[in-house]
């Protein structure tokens, strides 16, 4: 199974992708996590990507497509979390999958409004060591400031500040939303109400993936 998770920043894609990956063994490929790792390591890609990420803008398509090409596994299923994000990326993905004799199974759209997103992002805490994600109110860590899984230090992402979060939401509407029609036309789209609580969203996600929406 090859699944794309589509949706605004903070809609819960990463949280659900990690969980689904643990339950099913599907590989979780998060472009945001890969980029943040590249920034941390100070690679050439990281240096080029950082300025876009800090401004809440999309990293250029060419860089993103090359990155996916590099990490796509030759065998087995995977979840693409945060890719594609433009029509150009979606077309490149189609071409890439075809070349490898693979086919996209489904695209799950996480639907949520701007105000919910801002509330979620302003309370998000991320582990500096393993990347696990918490929320100050909805999913707090057992010990303040410390990751339950690895004991790493939790921090707030720079791009989760309110003005950057709102800009990311606008960028999503302008550049990523056209993918909803794109995948509807290909009969791949399944919509999910991402405002529900964590447990309900996970349950619904498993159901829609099992029966194809
Ligand atoms: P990326 O890291 O992919 O950011 P994003 O898509 O904006 O997604 P987020 O990680 O912000 O949110 P999420 O939907 O995963 O939500 P989460 O599960 O964490 O990308 C960052 C940047 O990289 C981009 O701005 C861009 O510059 C660049 N980039 C990445 N991919 C790119 C691409 N393909 N092309 C170009 N540039 C690219 O949840 C959020 C919070 O809500 C958490 O605190 C969580 O605990 C909480 N939460 C989750 N679910 C629930 C729930 N059901 N109820 C209550 N709270 C919940």
CATH topology of domain 2-113+163-210: Rossmann fold (3.40.50)
Q: How far apart are the first and last CA of the chain?
A: 14
pLDDT in tens, 54-99: 999 999 999 999 999 999 998 899 999 999 999 999 999 999 999 9
> What positions carry a catalytic annotation?
13, 85, 124, 157, 168
pLDDT in tens, 16-59: 999 999 999 999 999 999 999 999 999 999 999 999 999 999 99
Cα 112 from Cα 57, distance rounded (Å): 20
**pTM score, whole prediction:** 0.95
**Distance from the alpha carbon of residue 100 to the mean position of ligand 1, in angstroms:** 28
Find, among 22, 21, 152, 10, the residue nearest to 32 by Cα: 10
Beta pairing, strands 106-111 & 189-193: parallel
**Distance from the alpha carbon of residue 7 to the mean position of ligand 1, in angstroms:** 9
Q: Is 13 in the pocket of ligand 1 (CB under 6 A)?
A: yes
């Amino acid at each position: 199974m090859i699944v794309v998770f589509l949706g605004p920043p903070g809609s819960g894609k990463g949280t659900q992708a990690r969980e689904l990956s643990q339950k099913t063994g599907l590989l979780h490929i998060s472009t945001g996590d890969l980029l943040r790792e590249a920034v941390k390591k100070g690679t050439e890609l990281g240096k080029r990507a950082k300025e876009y990420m800090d401004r809440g803008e999309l990293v250029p398509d060419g860089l993103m497509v090359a990155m996916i090409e590099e990490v796509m596994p030759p065998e087995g299923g995977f979840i693409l979390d945060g890719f594609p994000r433009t029509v150009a990326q979606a077309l490149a993905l189609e071409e890439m999958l075809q070349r490898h004799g693979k086919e996209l199974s489904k695209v799950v759209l996480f639907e949520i409004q701007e105000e919910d997103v801002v509330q979620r992002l302003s309370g998000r805490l991320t582990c500096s060591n393993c990347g696990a994600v918490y929320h100050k109110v909805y999913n707090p860590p057992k010990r303040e400031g410390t990751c339950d899984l690895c004991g790493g230090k939790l921090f707030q992402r720079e791009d989760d500040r309110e003005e950057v979060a709102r800009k990311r939401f606008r960028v999503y509407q302008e550049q990523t939303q056209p993918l909803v029609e794109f995948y509807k036309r290909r009969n791949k789209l399944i919509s999910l109400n991402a405002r529900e609580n964590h447990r309900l969203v996970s349950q619904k996600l498993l159901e829609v993936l099992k029966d194809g929406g």
